A and B are shown apart, each in its own frame.
Chain A
Amino acid sequence: MMSSNVAVIPSLNAPDITTYGSRDEGQVISYRDALLWTMREALRKHDSVMIVGQGVDDHKGIFGSTVGLVQEFGADRVMDTPLAEEGMTGVAIGAALNGLYPIQTHIRADFSLLAMNQIINLAAKYKYMFGGRYDVPMLIRMIVGRSWGQGAQHSQSLQSLFAHIPGLKVVMPSSSQTILETYPAVIEAYRGPVISFEHRLMYDLQFHVDASWIGTTRDPFGSRLVRQGKDATIVATSIMVLEAMRAAGHLEKVAGIQCEVIDLHCVSHPDWDLVMHSVEKTGRLVVADTSWREYGVCAEVCRVVAERNPGCLQKPVVTLGMQPAPCPTAKCLEDLFYPDLRKFVDALATLVIGNPGHGVSLPDTQSMADVYKRFKGPF
């Protein structure tokens, strides 16, 4: 199970990343291996599970998350597909309607745009439009390709397009633990279409996990309180949860500022009570998402706070996300395009202390990619 890849343990920088993992137990597993483990378990446990996607059976196996499975379970269950995103999504829907549980992969979330018709017009509609008479149990794994010059068409984080649509559940696992808590439970018991955005930059990361997760009743779609604090609430998604933990760790160390961090996890159906409870406690809110802020998770969190209890905010909300442009490839521009740790810490310190000249020292590291990634391509 253990990966021989670079062991960058984010908890070195963010001591509390393993809030629900026990570091003493010492079990460490990479995001990639957590994925591979859940895929293998799904195939092993359920005869109805089939993994379908371009390259799921090749030697690279979706960045290692399906590698070796075709040898173990055969090409009928770990199925390479033609380059036909819409058609294959339709095939997966038809298969789900007739007794299978398809797990479909898109090696870049960008490619799922060719399957929008099937996902939005069909998968999301089948149950409701036909009066509840059908279920479409399936998991669509999409990888956010951010990293190393992937550019405008290989790096997009498209969760808000899907989360906008009633009938879909959209999750964004932020750690090995959330993968282990989410995928097996969803595959076992949830009967609708689920879209999961996995983040490429996390594949190589090692996470502490709590082995006792097996068989727990934790809601696979629940949002998670991953750090407690009284001064500000950070609502984050995917890899921004790690970034939030790093920022929070830094601020605690250098300025004694205590940030609460919520991993939204299921961006289509977040636990709004958890979010509101925290914002009402801290009075300050930062939303950090992996995508554009406009009409996305950032906008949605603001909508809900504005509707439920705007008076609880002591300060205007701060949002962090990608700059409103397609993603550039030049490293210097890419670094500006994504919010980095310095900006994150600066924004938090300004918010909590109340003015831009807060005097809190900023961390040396800038880009999240610099810290998390040893990878130098090519894919």
Chain B
Amino acid sequence: MTDAQRFRELFYQALRIRLVEERIIALYPSDVIQSPVHLSIGQEAVAVGACQELEKTDLIFCTYRSHAFYLAKGGNLKEMFAELYGKVTGCARGKAGSMHLTAPEVGLMGSSAVVASTIPHAVGAALAAKHLGKDQVVMAVFGDGATEEGVYHESLNFAVLHRLPVLFLCENNGLAVHSSQSARQRYAILEHARSYGLSAQHIADGYDLENVADTISGLVRRVRQIREPVFVEIRTYRYKEHVGPGEDFHCGYRQREEWWSWKQRDPLEQHPDLRDMMQPSIIKEIDEAVEFARASPFPPEEELLRDVV
């Protein structure tokens, strides 16, 4: 693949995620999606870059902000919309909503709405991979806020202690809900991670599609080869409010200028020609997925007590 082809491929995947989330925003006022949504608009390059080198058999554990990772890892778009609509054809039969997307068929494991709670699952899955001789790489995806939780520390320690094939991926958007990182942290994420003996890398520009993809892909290959944990922190920026479809620059916890400076470098804004070219087919795909969701049945009553234990 030439560099230009590769860029177009990355651009396409990021644009697809953005357009899906923009459709969610458009649909939201109609109340067909009766579940909170945590949008990744502005952060698409991270998910796209993270998944380039992963096989379907490699596992990712995510958070409530997982639309982007679900799609980048290969999750089915129809099943995603159906899930948002609360339909039985959804990826979790209408029991997950936006915050718990899952696609085990492509290795997108459980997404959890409890901050940091799936980080140890990635470590445990890597322990199983090691024990059972599987060639998997497991990725733990979490935000900057998650690094404040005790279980994060417990997970890093154990992964290094037992040399497990995990890539810890910190998607740092500088915010936890409305709190800035400096108001919450007295450590530096990278230095802290290194203190466990982890090899840890920083990607300062989470909007550089190719560099994010190249760097993380290199790290995935490295984990696959050396079968030891590796850490990467990517600085990025969230456009929308923490949860919900709107913007919240008027609320005073962050400045519109900051957004503006990121937007200047937003790859999806830089190439209107590419966007115009790719948009129609993606919109068509989204239309079909939304129609699938709309036409699907809601879960029947017996679903209420199905799969409890």
Contacts and interface: CB of A to CB of B under 8 A. Distances in A.
Query: For chain B, which range describes its interface: under 10, 10 to 19, 20 to 34, or 35 or more residues?
Result: 35 or more
Contacts of B309: 127, 166-169, 192, 269
Interface string A71-94: 000001100011010111111111
Contact of A134 (B104, B112, B114): B104
B141 interface: no
A122 B131 contact: no
Interface string A37-65: 00000000000101000000000000000
A128 B151 contact: no
Given A48-B132, A86-B150, A91-B124, A128 B161 contact: no
A99 B118 CA distance: 17
Closest 6 pairs (CB-CB, A-B): A94-B124, A90-B120, A87-B154, A131-B92, A94-B121, A131-B93
Given A87-B150, A94-B127, A131-B94, 18 more contacts: A50-B131, A82-B161, A89-B120, A90-B119, A91-B158, A95-B127, A95-B128, A97-B121, A100-B132, A117-B114, A122-B114, A127-B308, A130-B104, A131-B92, A131-B93, A134-B104, A167-B309, A269-B309
Interface stretch (B95-103, B246-254, B276-284): B95-103
Contacts of B114: 117, 121-122
Query: For chain A, which range describes its interface: under 10, 10 to 19, 20 to 34, or 35 or more residues?
Result: 35 or more
B308 A166 contact: yes
A129 interface: yes
14 contacts: A81-B158, A84-B154, A86-B120, A86-B150, A90-B151, A91-B121, A95-B128, A100-B131, A117-B117, A126-B110, A131-B94, A131-B307, A134-B102, A134-B110
Q: Name which of A84, A94, A167 has the most chain B CB atoms within 10 A of its CB.
A: A94
A128 B95 CA distance: 7
Contacts of B100: 129-130
A377 interface: no
A90 B132 contact: no
A170 B300 CA distance: 29
Contact of B91 (A102, A122, A131): A131
Q: Name which of A91, A118, A168 has the most chain B CB atoms within 10 A of its CB.
A: A91
A126 B110 CA distance: 7
A65 B131 CA distance: 23
B306 A132 contact: yes
Contacts of B11: none
B236 interface: no
A376 interface: no
Given A48-B132, A84-B157, A132-B306, A94 B120 contact: yes
Contacts of A48: 132
Contacts of B119: 90
A90 B110 CA distance: 12
Contact of B102 (A81, A82, A95, A130): A130
A56 to B, nearest CB: 15
A343 to B, nearest CB: 36
A96 interface: yes
Contacts of A90: 117-121, 123-124, 151, 154-155
Given A82-B154, A87-B151, A95 B104 contact: no
Contact of B307 (A82, A127, A168): A127
